[in-house]
Every structure is written in structure tokens, then in C-alpha cells.
């Protein structure tokens, strides 16, 4: 977590370890030791992400840790605590920010309608 200088840890230092453990877990899906090690690596990276204020990414790593080892108490605690720190905006399926809703022809109310957006008068058929 914190180092002596008080600077947040670089979460990317865990990327290679996680990638290696993911490969090992794919080769041996029933190996509980590998799955526990993978969960621990995810938790270490999640802690570093959380420390750096990257709450959504941290939450995703805590969830990945729980997928690898549902009994990992630090991951369980991390998921429970992150809700208090994270800005609970809606997210997409992969944790990315949800797109803003699009409202056609919406204005802020300050603008005059342009001729292109004003409805044209209908001609009557004779």
C-alpha cells in the first residue's frame, strides 16, 4: 500500500505478474494455489489503483480477485469499501463510464432556434 515517501504505488508494476498468473490459471483451472496467487496479485494492483484515486479500475480488480478466489477476504473488503470512495456514476459493461444520453434538438434555452431547426410551414394541397 503506502510506501515510505507517501507516494502512491505504480499499479502497472503488477501487470506482468497478473498476465503470467492468468496464463497459468488458464492452463490449470483447478489449481487453487495459482488461483489464490492470482487473486492476491489483483488485490495488490487494486490497492495501488485505489490509492491513486482510480476507483473504478480498483473495483474491477477486486472483482477479478473474487472471481479467482471468492474466499479472498481482502478483495471482499475492498469491494465493500470502494463504494464509499468511488463516484457511483453509471458504468458500462466493462466498467467504463456510461455514455451521456443524447437528446435530439436539445438546447440550453439560451439560444435562438436556427432556421434549420424551426419547423417549416406546411403547404396545403389544393
CATH number where 48 lies: 1.25.40.10
The 10s digit of each residue's pLDDT in 53-79 is 899 999 999 999 999 999 999 999 999
Confirm if 113 and 107 have CB atoms less than 8 A apart.
yes
Q: Is residue 45 part of a domain?
A: yes
Is the CB of residue 13 less than 8 Å from the CB of residue 3?
Answer: no
Supply the pLDDT for residue 2.
44
State which residues of the chain have pLDDT below 50: 1-3, 89-90
Domain total in the chain:
1
pTM of this prediction?
0.63
Which residue range(s) make up the domain with 25?
12-85
Amino acid at each position: 500500500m503506502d510506501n515510505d515517501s507517501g507516494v502512491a504505488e505504480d499499479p502497472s508494476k503488477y501487470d506482468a505478474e497478473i498476465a503470467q498468473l492468468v496464463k497459468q490459471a488458464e492452463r490449470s483451472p483447478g489449481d487453487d494455489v495459482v488461483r489464490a496467487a492470482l487473486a492476491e496479485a489483483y488485490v495488490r494492483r487494486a490497492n495501488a489503483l485505489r490509492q491513486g484515486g482510480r476507483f473504478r479500475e480498483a473495483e474491477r480488480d477486486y472483482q477479478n480477485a473474487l472471481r479467482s478466489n471468492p474466499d479472498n477476504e481482502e478483495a471482499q473488503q475492498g469491494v465493500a469499501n470502494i463504494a464509499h470512495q468511488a463516484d457511483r456514476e453509471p458504468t458500462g459493461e466493462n466498467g467504463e463510464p456510461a455514455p451521456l444520453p443524447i437528446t435530439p434538438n436539445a438546447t440550453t434555452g439560451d439560444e435562438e432556434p436556427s432556421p434549420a431547426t424551426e419547423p417549416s410551414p406546411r403547404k396545403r394541397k389544393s
